[in-house]
Structure 1
């Protein structure tokens, strides 16, 4: 019988009781509990953090029957039933600080129905303090404290300083009893997307272990290559049969689209679990993660600081201090891009001053992020930039480059003057972006030459085009640069399907900053 896909399931018990697919992480869960007490883990949204919290809840509340046949079943012998206090801050969108008060109050009230409430306990901190003491007294076991998406209220108010400061103070007050209650707590585990400074959970908790970049726990959330091929083998076979592909072809497509995350120096390749599960269920490779929506705070930050999308694609050299740091008050968008999952670790070389290389993890993120930027900066819906991308595909496949330039001119001329605050963002995002969307539908094979990297390389079945853009520059200088740096050299031996040499072209395009559009352009044989 085919297993159920756990789409929309974040409860470990529901998954197990319905024979849904579960990638076994219980060996790591056991290691966490036996080797430490207070943890924080940061991972991007839709990466399985809620399921991890639910798994810890079931394990530490002693629900042994749910773990039959899993790794932990052979490791755990005691299965003690601890009282668990679990708080999920992802349940609502925080429009104002009062909404945080409401969620905390409702969450505390649910546990007070079980463990009671002291008459003098009015503030969230005093109520939490009383709950922990009474839960231990009533059960005879120390308390487990679990928090999912602790930073949701802060991320929702990241660009509103007053609301952000109020949210942070309320959370500090709520968590304040935890340090003094250390003797009454068995285990604390907190998840989020990022680490915010000046919060008591990071500055006051005893022996807090941040495992976001620890090799041992790099695969605690998400799905590794080994897990995919062993624990999800039947689903891959079904997708292969449905799509007329081989097992290996399906694996290659899934890897290209959803793999590529790394969360530590020696991290294995990690797949986005949300996208991977949806793709196997639908037997289709599409952009599932981005369909859930790009957070507004992220685009606000991109607008605030400015960032070149080409830099994200090609890779950013960084130290851990450049991206594994609190996001608020930071003068760079790189930390929030990394912690939100739009950038990941693509290389580590300890011999370098900046040992980490950060870049897009996979095709889904690169394409989805580009489309998000196009929409945000142009103020237009997808029909506008998709039409230009379609013209690029048809134009270069047919050799009609003039039609491409005309389409881009019309596209840019219809964008409001204040849609983009910075020229570099306008040109990098609105022009390069539509090319990036189009290139997967061409025989695209971009690579560096000995002299560097061209702005854009497009390869069709019959030709290769190297395109160099200049801002208020010289067309002749651009053409000369393509030749002198050998941008076309890697393609001189490329053949058509008939075995003939592909035609090579140099294309120079001048951007007129005053007109905020394409000025003159020229194409010559390469």
Structure 2
């Protein structure tokens, strides 16, 4: 079974397809997303496949039919029109000061200014430069432009501990994306991803025509691996995992479910496994806390401490939909941040009252937070806390 290659650390659709890595076909949902909407936003936790979805959409809009052989998209799309695509990955930088933000935005815009024979005038405001790029792409190709912005909220998360810096960054990002609404006549599709919902960061005040698909049932499985996908595509992998751990197939499946299942991104959406942890386990034949160990929840632990909440007692939270829309610049409730970051998930939903029940998705997250809390608070481990920060 180990001739199958799992896309660990590989987030680009083209590289996964050309490298013949395991790919769970999400192209039917990508097609629906691209053809039923014009302005969209998707919130998902880190390492859940947002960047893979963005690059899948990029390949689709660039008309790269050859990459979709054997996938649902091949049958769904009949025209394969090619559009100019502006793909801006904000996660390329670390944003602990304004210099880093300016350098990242300048570099990304300069790349497209060069592509469309524009002068990279760094003295101009970012919104003007983005507007010029969109209009030049449209004028030179005669085709409507696609704008894909991945991890748009990375600068705000990196600056969370410095309120003054975050305010400055928020204003810069608001200015940066402001042309997207005004340039509508030149645009075919606009898609933004991030961890936090757009309403929380208050940078979309001008972009009020965007549809937030994050909690829509039909897109609940657009990222991650659904239970149906696991059972239909990975039976041999699970058998291999079971054999290497002296388990039966059913025991291995139950252990996967216990460790990595349990994510729900809408009231009545599909049951989702953490794709990163799942692939790491199938690749190594070893159960571990893979997703949790790749990120540091220090800012969340500090937030819980500030609000006098016990993380290990957050397994039965009741929330209405509007609880997820509190402004990030004035956090009084850590629950929305915990949910959007993947540390809590929807465990139940009453459609009539529109009330959600939240809790830990699985043992990986609950145990990971327990270990992090111990390291954070234990006096003999203060060096670990400093290292995390």
Deviation, structure 1 residue 379: 4.3
SS state at 2:347 partner: strand
For residues 380 and 27 of structure 2, what CA distance do their matches in structure 1 show? 46
For residues 303 and 363 of structure 1, what CA distance do their matches in structure 2 show? 22
For residues 4 and 20 of structure 2, what CA distance do their matches in structure 1 show? 6
Q: How do residues 414-429 of structure 1 correspond to structure 2 at under 5 angstroms?
A: none
Residues 155 and 297 of structure 1 are in contact (CA less than 8 Å); yes or no, is this contact kept in structure 2?
no
Structure 2 gap segments, 5+ residues each: 385-389
Residues 262 and 345 of structure 1 are in contact (CA less than 8 Å); yes or no, is this contact kept in structure 2?
yes
Deviation, structure 1 residue 225: 0.4
* Corresponding position of 1:270: 272
* Alignment partner of 1:14 is 2:15: yes
Distance change in 2, residues 1:379/1:196 (3 Å):
farther
* Corresponding position of 1:484: none
For residues 116 and 298 of structure 1, what CA distance do their matches in structure 2 show? 44
* Corresponding position of 1:85: 86
* Corresponding position of 1:365: 365
Scaled by the length of structure 1, the TM-score of the pair is 0.70
**CA deviation map 1:9-68 (0-9, x unaligned):** 001000000110000000000000111110001111111111111111111111110000
For residues 380 and 152 of structure 1, what CA distance do their matches in structure 2 show? 32
Structure 1 gap segments, 5+ residues each: 385-526
Residues 171 and 199 of structure 1 are in contact (CA less than 8 Å); yes or no, is this contact kept in structure 2?
no
Q: How do residues 104-183 of structure 1 correspond to structure 2 at under 5 angstroms?
A: 104-118=105-119, 122-183=124-185
Deviation, structure 1 residue 289: 0.9
Residues 260 and 270 of structure 1 are in contact (CA less than 8 Å); yes or no, is this contact kept in structure 2?
yes
Residues 173 and 203 of structure 2 are in contact (CA less than 8 Å); yes or no, is this contact kept in structure 1?
no
Deviation, structure 1 residue 200: 7.2
* Corresponding position of 1:61: 62
Residues 343 and 361 of structure 2 are in contact (CA less than 8 Å); yes or no, is this contact kept in structure 1?
yes
For residues 120 and 8 of structure 2, what CA distance do their matches in structure 1 show? 43
* Corresponding position of 1:318: 319
Residues 172 and 199 of structure 1 are in contact (CA less than 8 Å); yes or no, is this contact kept in structure 2?
no
* Corresponding position of 2:241: 239
Deviation, structure 1 residue 206: 5.6
For residues 362 and 230 of structure 1, what CA distance do their matches in structure 2 show? 22
* Corresponding position of 1:356: 356
**CA deviation map 1:116-150 (0-9, x unaligned):** 21486722111111111111111121111001110
For residues 197 and 265 of structure 1, what CA distance do their matches in structure 2 show? 19
Residues 304 and 310 of structure 2 are in contact (CA less than 8 Å); yes or no, is this contact kept in structure 1?
no
Distance change in 2, residues 1:300/1:32 (3 Å):
same
For residues 68 and 125 of structure 2, what CA distance do their matches in structure 1 show? 38
Deviation, structure 1 residue 383: 12
Deviation, structure 1 residue 305: 1.3
Residues 89 and 150 of structure 1 are in contact (CA less than 8 Å); yes or no, is this contact kept in structure 2?
yes
**CA deviation map 1:323-370 (0-9, x unaligned):** 354433131111111111111110112455x72111100000000011
* Corresponding position of 1:329: 330
Distance change in 2, residues 1:65/1:382 (3 Å):
farther
Q: Higher relative contact order at CA 8 Å, sep ≥6: structure 1 or structure 2?
A: 2
For residues 35 and 6 of structure 2, what CA distance do their matches in structure 1 show? 31
For residues 346 and 76 of structure 1, what CA distance do their matches in structure 2 show? 36
Residues 327 and 335 of structure 1 are in contact (CA less than 8 Å); yes or no, is this contact kept in structure 2?
no
Scaled by the length of structure 2, the TM-score of the pair is 0.93
Distance change in 2, residues 1:198/1:281 (3 Å):
closer
For residues 232 and 87 of structure 1, what CA distance do their matches in structure 2 show? 33
* Alignment partner of 1:280 is 2:282: yes
Distance change in 2, residues 1:224/1:119 (3 Å):
closer
For residues 9 and 190 of structure 2, what CA distance do their matches in structure 1 show? 26
* Corresponding position of 1:94: 95
Deviation, structure 1 residue 288: 0.3
Q: How do residues 165-314 of structure 1 correspond to structure 2 at under 5 angstroms?
A: 165-197=167-199, 202-205=204-207, 207-313=209-315
* Corresponding position of 1:342: 343
Residues 347 and 356 of structure 1 are in contact (CA less than 8 Å); yes or no, is this contact kept in structure 2?
yes
Deviation, structure 1 residue 222: 0.8
Residues 200 and 326 of structure 2 are in contact (CA less than 8 Å); yes or no, is this contact kept in structure 1?
no
* Alignment partner of 1:76 is 2:64: no
**CA deviation map 1:280-326 (0-9, x unaligned):** 1011111001211224322231222121234213x111212223544
For residues 95 and 203 of structure 2, what CA distance do their matches in structure 1 show? 20
Distance change in 2, residues 1:378/1:198 (3 Å):
closer
SS state at 1:279 partner: helix
Distance change in 2, residues 1:241/1:97 (3 Å):
same
Deviation, structure 1 residue 204: 2.2
Distance change in 2, residues 1:59/1:380 (3 Å):
farther
SS state at 1:328 partner: helix
Residues 159 and 300 of structure 1 are in contact (CA less than 8 Å); yes or no, is this contact kept in structure 2?
no
